Structure 1
Amino acid sequence: METIHSKFAVDTCEEFSMEANPGDLTEEKIKLLQGYGVNRISLGVQVLDNAMLKELGRAHQVKDVYATVNNLSKHGFSNISIDMIYALPKQTVSHFSDTLQEAISFQLPHYSAYALQIEPKTIFYNRFRKGQLHRPEQEEEVEMYRELIKKMAAHGISQYEISNFAKPGFESKHNLTYWNNDFYYGFGAGASGYLPGERTINIKPLPAYIKQANLDGRPVLKVDKIGKKEQVEEEMFLGLRKTAGIDIKLFANKFGFSMFDLYKEEVAYLENKGWVKLEDDFLRLTEEGKLFGNDVFEQFLLGMEDLERVY
């Protein structure tokens, strides 16, 4: 924190967000974060069920969530977010609805909810390959997502991105940086950065990061070059994740050509499917389109010959 304060004008920072696990934030740590200007906390709650938390390998219990939220509120933190996961093994729509209702009862200004992804080299992945992992059917996962949208709306918590919901004015500026395809630095072990023309991924774990940082001051594991093709594709993928959608005029100003110079047929196809809509100079996903996001995004992959038409 002292290093951050020595290098950046934290006092002018609109959002200084930290992630934490419930139960890890002692009152001493909360006071420390507050003293250094942190004004937003995101808690990795995942699910409000002790048995499922154990199944997920999480160290905290439901009581830790309550204790952490209470301690944060007691010390003046009002911008608190809860992260949840759904489509968990053996989870039913009814169970997820109960977790949602309990999470909403905290009356927090921000919530995130993501469907479980089975990542390689994880316990879940190994069990999934062996046929030992019972996941909800796709129809149940869709129903959970619909329940998420319905319950949040009923409590005045607006969806501003496929998986994120907030009361007005509490949309995460950090998250919006990603979806607006804006640039950002990545400091620390395993951090990602996005600068003009390149994405970077730093070395991890921490000891290896520190060793390389002391050697040459640049502990970067990988640099991916980002050309115009990748920039345009990512503008589409990321922008459509937002409920606001893609600003068609802003796209033209940013890239020097109209979105429809590249994607006229694709947009028409997706409109016909009922997955996107054009309104008020924005291209947005429909409610149905949110359920088929990957199929929508696939339509905006480019070949080099596509870009040659507009440059």
Structure 2
Amino acid sequence: MTHEKLAGQQSAPQAVYIHIPFCTNKCFYCDFNSYVLKDQPVMKYLEALEREMEYTVTQTPPGEIKTIFVGGGTPTVLKPDEMAYFLKTVRTYFPNWSDDIEFSMEANPGTTDLEKMAVMKEGGVNRVSFGVQAFQNELLTGIGRIHNTDDVYRSLENARKTGLTNLSIDLMFGLPNQTVEMLSDSITRALELDLPHYSIYGLKVEENTLFHTMFQKNQLPLPSEDHELKMYLLLMERMKEAGYNQYEISNFAKPGKESRHNITYWRNEDYYGLGAGAHGYVHRQRHMNIRGVNPYNEATEKGLPRLETFTISKEEAMEDFLMVGLRMLEGVSSTRFEQQFHVKLEDIFAKPLHKMLHAGLLEAEGDMYRLSSQGVLYGNEVFAEFIGAITVK
């Protein structure tokens, strides 16, 4: 049987990721594929995105779409007319939405006035994730954010006025000059908002960022590892006390308000990836698109704007299943593993499973393996145990 025929028999992806690479400015910690908005060919980019959508759905026709996530960059830097055009193209090429679709868009406080929010809601967006990061203006300035805390409250008020209530905010810990007390204050102010969802990430100093340059020169006043651990323990305790379920290492939600799109990634399920620098995963093929805006725009005039496409081997897919699946605190299901790969999880990963269970970093219940409370603190070490650890082929 040919590969094409086999792929054709597989179900269509039910999740769509779309990348809008424009920002008002570049944050000091950001290594995402993003470009300062000034003088960028925004409309040409949106037209190129439409061409990629058309090529994509011709090659892999979509079924029922359950989640759409628009990330960046800052998608909300689009003007209302650009936003309306963009959302219309999404609906045109991915028309079959499930009744309870989760359509998320990332937003920065200060880029979401009432008019734009109304256009977003009209175009189908029903979940907005705001990049707040901290509630201390001096910390925001120190990481290169251009919003302030007043912008946060105004943006959330605008969203609610428009009827958008499924809202999330991102916070960060381990920031330069941040203390445990500052994080505690940020969590207090975040919880006062009574939102359905919070993402709270530790700062990673990535290459090709201003922070990396400062770090190399010993000019980045980061909290100590001990303080960073205290911050993480504090945020887990505070979120639990407030009734939020920690469903993934960095994510907390009220019951039923988990990010279903991100769960697609963590369950290693297929998703379309569209836009400059976007990644996609369809029928065990991963792709990455051309990153630059103009090169991407030009490439879509000839076909799919791929930088690289590669097939994921069964072994790599099995490793990915464990590594991303264990990020979720419900853990990974040996039943689901066997359904997907037609082999037993315990046969394939006997050695690392035994080692991590014995070390008390994993625990088993029924057909599930999950991080223990200690394992959550050392997740990366646990995930690394499963790389190159397949014992039975």
Q: TM-score range by the shorter chain?
A: over 0.9
Deviation at residue 5 of structure 1 after TM alignment: 1.3
Gaps of 5+ in 2: 1-86
SS where residue 201 of structure 2 aligns? strand
Deviation at residue 282 of structure 1 after TM alignment: 0.3
CA distance in 2, matches of 1:19, 1:195: 23
For 2:378, the aligned partner's letter is: F
Deviation at residue 191 of structure 1 after TM alignment: 1.3
Q: Are 1:135 and 2:222 matched, yes or no? A: yes
**Which whole-Å deviations, capped at 9, do the CAs of 1:209-244 have from their partners, x for residues lacking one?**
111101x12111122331112101100001100011
CA distance in 1, matches of 2:132, 2:96: 27
1:235 aligned residue: 321
Q: Is the 8 A contact 2:134 2:186 kept in 1?
A: yes
Q: Give the total of aligned pairs.
A: 306
RCO higher in structure (CA 8 A, sep ≥6): 2
Which deviates more, 10-19 or 90-99? 10-19
Q: Are 1:295 and 2:384 matched, yes or no? A: no
SS where residue 169 of structure 2 aligns? strand
For 2:324, the aligned partner's letter is: L
CA distance in 2, matches of 1:264, 1:160: 26
Q: Is the 8 A contact 2:286 2:312 kept in 1?
A: yes
The correspondence of residues 1-311 of structure 1 with structure 2, limited to 5 A, is: 1-9=87-95, 11-12=97-98, 14-214=101-301, 216-302=302-388, 306=390, 309-310=392-393
Gaps of 5+ in 1: none
CA distance in 2, matches of 1:150, 1:251: 32
Deviation at residue 250 of structure 1 after TM alignment: 1.1
Q: Is the 8 A contact 2:168 2:197 kept in 1?
A: yes
Deviation at residue 280 of structure 1 after TM alignment: 2.1
Deviation at residue 9 of structure 1 after TM alignment: 2.3
Q: Is the 8 A contact 2:277 2:290 kept in 1?
A: yes
For 1:146, the aligned partner's letter is: L
**Which whole-Å deviations, capped at 9, do the CAs of 1:254-292 have from their partners, x for residues lacking one?**
111111112222212111211000012100001110111
2:49 aligned residue: none
CA distance in 1, matches of 2:291, 2:353: 41
| TM-score normalised by the chain length of structure 1 | 0.95
**Which whole-Å deviations, capped at 9, do the CAs of 1:136-193 have from their partners, x for residues lacking one?**
1111111111111111111111100000010011111111010010010111112111
Structure 1 stretches of 4+ with a deviation exceeding 6 A read none
For 1:246, the aligned partner's letter is: V
Which deviates more, 188-197 or 111-120? 188-197
Q: Is the 8 A contact 1:124 1:133 kept in 2?
A: yes
2:52 aligned residue: none
Q: Is the 8 A contact 1:11 1:37 kept in 2?
A: no
Which deviates more, 205-214 or 5-14? 5-14
SS where residue 274 of structure 2 aligns? coil
CA distance in 1, matches of 2:303, 2:132: 35
SS where residue 129 of structure 2 aligns? strand
Q: Is the 8 A contact 1:10 1:37 kept in 2?
A: no
CA distance in 1, matches of 2:214, 2:386: 34
Deviation at residue 11 of structure 1 after TM alignment: 4.7
| TM-score normalised by the chain length of structure 2 | 0.76
CA distance in 1, matches of 2:97, 2:208: 41
SS where residue 106 of structure 2 aligns? strand
Between the aligned residues of both structures, percent identity stands at 40
Alpha-carbon spacing, 1:207–1:10, altered in 2? closer, same or farther (3 Å): farther
Deviation at residue 301 of structure 1 after TM alignment: 1.1
CA distance in 2, matches of 1:245, 1:197: 22
Deviation at residue 10 of structure 1 after TM alignment: 5.7
